[in-house]
Amino acid sequence: MTADISSPLTLPCGATLKNRLAKGAMTEGLGDGRNRATEAHTRLYRRWADGGAGMLLTGNVQVDRRYMERPGNVAIDGEQSNEAIAALRDFAKAGTANGAHLWMQISHAGRQTPALVNKEPVAPSAKPLDMPGAQFGKPRAMTGAEIEDVIRRFAHAASVARDTGFTGVQIHGAHGYLISEFLSPDVNARTDEWGGSLENRARLLLEIVRAVRAAVGTDFPVSVKLNSADFQRGGFSHEDAIRVAAWLNAEGLDLLEVSGGTYEQPRLVGMDDMTLHPEKSEVRRESTIAREAYFLEYAKDIRAAVTMPLMVTGGFRTVEGMNAALASGTMDVVGIARPLCVDPGIPGKLLSGAATETPAYEKTLRLGPGFLGPHSPVNLIKAMNGWGQQGWFCLQLLRMGAGKDPDPKMGVFSAFRNYAKNEAKTAAALER
């Protein structure tokens, strides 16, 4: 039977998603000063669960509160207090309303830890991010003992997710965070068992998958988010991704989400033209540019190497495009992210026929025309457009977490400014 967005999907572990629409992971920034979940998570995820998607992915929950993607992350770091456990249970209950699955995305930010959180992050090797504005400190190379500790931390976070009512976990192995850094030969210059060959560079990811599976059991969904490529010369290549995907398939993974890009090459949000170093970027295939979804062509290549379910997030806009991708057999789950920042009920509208496509506010979000836009020859302005756009979507989540409606009329410059203020305020409130 040909699948469409309304079709249920039974995963290898036996769990069933009620439909093929998933809310993609997006950073929320709603954690408190102790990096615990809050009532804002409960309000936000209940709204999304009522929106009709079959599965919701949380924003990245950190396994080490010293190395976070932003100061408002939730962190599961060591033994959890009664208050932290209760907050996670409320979060899970809200996100599993209306028959939705809620999977916790577990992560370690590595060198993409902002200086506001930690001025000395860790990474496979001491190679800093090539980004303007001193937003990120120079990392130090991890010791072997620290790498082994990270594996244990992922397993612990996964077990807490299971015990507090989340219905699955996703290991974040993409977008330039720690696992992705280990996979990249451009970032990982190690000469021990964690670096060099692809087998060694993938060791951390595979060991984490095995540890997580041992911690949660065989009937609990375990997923991985993997770059189809870093889209940077010398980085994790598409050929590498296909080989790693085949290894993950052999581990009995329940779902592989195909994505791409890093902070240095922000293709993860479709911002090809905002890369600060176009000379280092790999050229995207013309066939991929012509498609509705950013990574569908790359998923097709991965599909040829694996049997596990695949999810693609990024660029899907029309029901026609979603159904065509599912019917082709290239993928099994459609991820929707930014449209849910503005219309949390869009999955239900797509499923019912009340809407045939999602909103695409990112197409018009910019500081201004010409020189002030995302194609500016000035890297600082280009970066401000990128961070301003990201801030715009993040602030919509903060509004919904506060019980307000999204504000589509919000300006990009004010979003850039207010997002920066919010991050500084949240960082100042951290109990370190």
Of 21-25, 203-207, 218-222, 224-228, the one with minimum mean pLDDT is 224-228
Separation between Cα atoms, residue 33 and residue 97, nearest integer Å: 27
**pLDDT averaged over every residue in the chain:** 89
In single-letter form, the type of residue at position 176 comes to: G
State how far the Cα of 423 lies from the Cα of 114, in Å rounded to an integer. Answer: 10
Rounded mean pLDDT of 186-205? 97
Predicted local distance difference test score (pLDDT) of residue 255 = 98
pLDDT band at 245; cut points 50, 70, 90: very high
In the prediction, which pLDDT does 1 show? 63
Nearest-angstrom CA–CA distance, 138 and 121: 7
Residue 101, SS3 per DSSP? strand
Across 351-361, average pLDDT: 92
CA–CA gap between residue 51 and residue 47 (Å, rounded)? 6
The whole-number pLDDT of residue 267 equals: 46
Pairing of strands 55-57, 101-107: parallel
Residue 389's pLDDT band (cuts 50, 70, 90): confident
Residue 271, pLDDT score: 46
The pair of structure tokens assigned to 105 is 């995305």
Which pLDDT belongs to residue 264?
53
Question: Using CA atoms, how far apart are residues 127 and 136, in angstroms rounded to an integer?
Answer: 11
The per-residue pLDDT for range 305-327, each reduced to its tens digit, is: 999 999 998 888 899 999 999 99
Residue 288: what pLDDT? 44
Q: What was the pLDDT predicted at 263?
A: 63
222's enclosing H/E stretch is: strand 222-227
pLDDT digits (tens, 9 = 90+) for 268-297: 444 444 455 554 444 544 444 345 677 888
Residue 171 φ then ψ, to 5°: -85, 120
Helix, strand, coil in percent for the chain, rounding step 5: 40, 15, 45
DSSP characters over 392-425: HHHHHHHHHHTTPPP-TT--HHHHHHHHHHHHHH
Question: Over the Cα atoms of the chain, what is R_g?
Answer: 20
Residue 184 to residue 150: CA distance in whole angstroms: 18
Q: Quick one: average pLDDT of 253-267? A: 75
pLDDT band, residue 103 (cuts 50/70/90): very high
Burial class, 311, CB count within 10 angstroms (exposed 0-12 / middle 13-18 / buried 19+)? buried
Is the Cα dihedral 283, 286, 291, 297 positive or negative? negative
Q: What is the dihedral of CA 242, 167, 251, 13, to 10 degrees?
A: -110
| pLDDT value of residue 274 | 46
Residue 2: predicted pLDDT: 83
CA dist 218 and 114 (Å) reads 36
**DSSP bridge pairs for 61:** 106
CATH superfamily membership of 9-361 = Aldolase class I (3.20.20.70)
Work out whether strand 55-57 and strand 61-62 pair parallel, antiparallel, or are unpaired: unpaired
Question: Which residue would you say has higher pLDDT here, 133 or 392?
Answer: 392
Asked if residues 150 and 168 have their Cβ atoms less than 8 Å apart, the reply is no
pLDDT above 90 covers a percentage of the chain that reads 73
Contacts of 344 (CB under 8 A, 6+ apart): 47, 48, 50, 51, 400, 406
Lowest mean pLDDT: which of 162-176, 280-294, 295-309, 366-380? 280-294
pLDDT (tens digit per residue) in 61-85 = 999 999 999 999 999 999 999 999 9
Report the percentage of the chain scoring pLDDT > 70.
Answer: 89
Angle between helices 82-95 and 39-49 (to 10 degrees): 20
